Amino acid sequence: MSPTAITALEHDLGIQISADLRTLWFLTAGDDGVNDRGCLPGNEALMTRSR
């Protein structure tokens, strides 16, 4: 998730996303891991990448 997308989300929701959550999204959003599975424990994804 790009900084621009997060800023737009904050505007739409009327809230500020925490720095920790921003970092987690930057590191994991869109990462399909191995064999289209996530990069989190248990090979789970935090969220899917949308286009």
On the CB side of 30, how many CA atoms lie within 13 Å of its CA?
Answer: 6
Contact 47, 37 (CB under 8 A): no
The pTM of the full predicted model, rounded to 2 decimals, is 0.54
pLDDT digits (tens, 9 = 90+) for 6-47: 899 899 999 999 998 888 877 776 565 666 556 666 666 666
Contact 26, 18 (CB under 8 A): no
